[in-house]
Structure 1
Amino acid sequence: MKVVAYIRVSTKGQGESGLGLEAQRDYITRAAQQNGWEIVGEFVDVVSGKLAIEERPEGFKALALCKEQKAQLVVAKLDRLSRSVLHIAQLMEQIDFKVATMPQADKFQLHLFAALAQQEREFIANRTKEALAALQSRADAGDAVAVQKVKNRSDALAKGRAVADITVANEQRMKNVNAHQATLQPHLLACLYNKVNTLQSVADCLNTKGLRTPRGSEFTPTAVRRLMLAFNVSF
């Protein structure tokens, strides 16, 4: 049987570090070996599980390949497809899929597992909400331990938001740098086409054109070297 492997991690950090990604790939590979599945493709998304798989960039491609190859989709665990019973039920109407950690499960069993998992998440969320409300109530009543716990949680949340803000800012900065570099590429190639053959001469060529680095500075040999590396060009 042909299968298309689909792997999903929720954060960019997990995607870059391989945290969770390699484990999912290992589950799928072992299940394929044990059940005689032929893996005809692999797709990896770094997105939230709140999106339906057809709304994810690589998920959409994985579904298309399944239909093209008449293959089944395979994931390591059910929550890699979705944490929503609705999304999983809708997917069942489109294609057949397998879960590596329970390869013999049929559609009814998978639907049941998805429903139980969603119910457990809702129970946990409610219990957490009730516990936090009780903690806040004790803190409001003057309980010193509760007051400290509320403060610790508030500090942790603030720190998390600060880290998220920094991450977003860095990502935007890199987008701006890449966009600026893209505007410089034709000018760099023109300078190289004119037979300049040192980093300083390229810097002089770009500066003469009135161009500046992403930081707004004049070009130096070091800045030119970085730009040439970004575009994989050389003398």
Structure 2
Amino acid sequence: MSQHTTPIDVVAYCRVSSQGQGESGLGLEAQREYINRAATQNNWNIVGEFVDVVSGKLAIEDRPEGAKALALCKQAKAKLIVAKLDRLSRSVHHIARLLDEAMDFKVATMPQADKFQLHLFAALAEQERSFIASRTKEALAALKARSIAGDQQAQQKVARRTEALEKGRTDANRAKANEAIQERVNSFSESVRDPIDLCILKGARTLQQVADCLNGKGITTCRGGKWSPTQVSRVMQNLALTLPSKGDAL
């Protein structure tokens, strides 16, 4: 049921990080689904939509379409609406500055959140990204430990990684190579965050159902193959995503 008798004008803003996502619409589909659903449930009237294909590190006012969205908000006296907080910015500093400047915005996945809660969620999200980086380093250390202990599978993985990284490279370059590998893993995981969220939003309640949903959309794994429950689990763990319990409402 609508929570407002009078519609509130909102300007929809979506952001994807790469041209590939922008062209395929994989990220945009989920964001629009969130925004349209929230608008219907809260009696929000969408008066415009803007889409940027830029990094979340760039402040919204410095993005081509973001600047236009803010201008329309001011002109139409409307509120900005984003699907998720990280579409607005991944920086706690940027979020805090917008809140301090009395920028009125809504987040579709938490439409009733107040300024304090939005600031808190932004801080927690930034901390979680830091935890993910730490867990990755710990996982690499654990792989090396298993290799030393005699685990043949771990030894093979370490050998392949060592062979690829140690050909004429300095310690500094090897460290950069490891960082580049992890950055690619994280980048791919982020590229499928919205499609996974959308699959769950539309009713997927098991890893197999999420895998079937992604395969049905033609979304491939990082190696271009079909998704399996194990692969879905790894990516969801990297993104700190969880499946709803059976009792949760759709």
Size of the aligned set, in residue pairs, is 161
Instruction: Report the CA distance between 1:140 and its aligned residue.
Output: 7.2
AA of the residue aligned to 1:55: D
TM-score, normalization by structure 1: 0.61
What's the TM-score, normalizing by structure 2? Answer: 0.57
Q: Which of 6, 10, 15 is matched with 1:3 structurally? A: 10
Q: Secondary structure at 1:41's aligned position in 2?
A: strand
User: Residue by residue, what CA displacement relative to the aligned partner does 1:156-213 show, whole Å, maximum 9, x if unpaired?
Assistant: x89x98xx9xxxxxxxxxxxxxxxxxxxxxxxxxxxxxxxxxxxxxxxxxxxxxxxxx
**Which residue is equivalent to 1:67?**
74
- Listed as ranges, the matches of 1:19-38 within 5 Å are 19-38=26-45
Query: Percent same amino acid among aligned pairs?
Result: 74
Q: Where do 5+ consecutive residues of structure 2 fail to align?
A: 1-7, 165-176, 185-250
Question: Which amino acid counterpart does residue 44 of structure 1 have in structure 2?
Answer: V
- Cα 1:83–1:153 change in 2 (3 A) is farther
Could you tell me which residue of structure 1 aligns to residue 52 of structure 2? 45
Q: Which residue of 1 aligns with 2:119?
A: 111
Q: What's the CA shift for 1:124?
A: 1.4
Structure 1 counterpart SS, 2:57: coil
Q: 1:97 maps to which residue?
A: 105
Return the letter of the residue paired with 1:96.
Answer: D
The residue number in structure 1 matching 2:141 is 133
Residues 158-197 of structure 1: pairs in structure 2 closer than 5 A: none
In the TM superposition, residue 146 of structure 1 has moved relative to its aligned partner by 2.8
Q: 1:83 and 1:151, CA in 2 relative to 1: closer, same or farther beyond 3 A?
A: farther
Matched AA of 1:20: G
Q: 1:151 to 1:45 in 2, by over 3 A?
A: farther
What is the deviation of 1:142? 7.5
The alpha carbon displacement at 1:104 in A equals 0.7
Structure whose CA Rg is larger: 1
Q: What secondary structure sits across from 1:20 in the alignment?
A: helix
CA separation of 1:84 and 1:152: change in aligned 2, threshold 3 A: farther
- Root-mean-square deviation (CA), in Å? 2.7
Q: CA deviation at 1:42?
A: 0.5
Larger RCO, structures 1/2 (Cα 8 Å, 6+ apart): 2
- Between Structure 1 and Structure 2, the one with more helix by share is 1
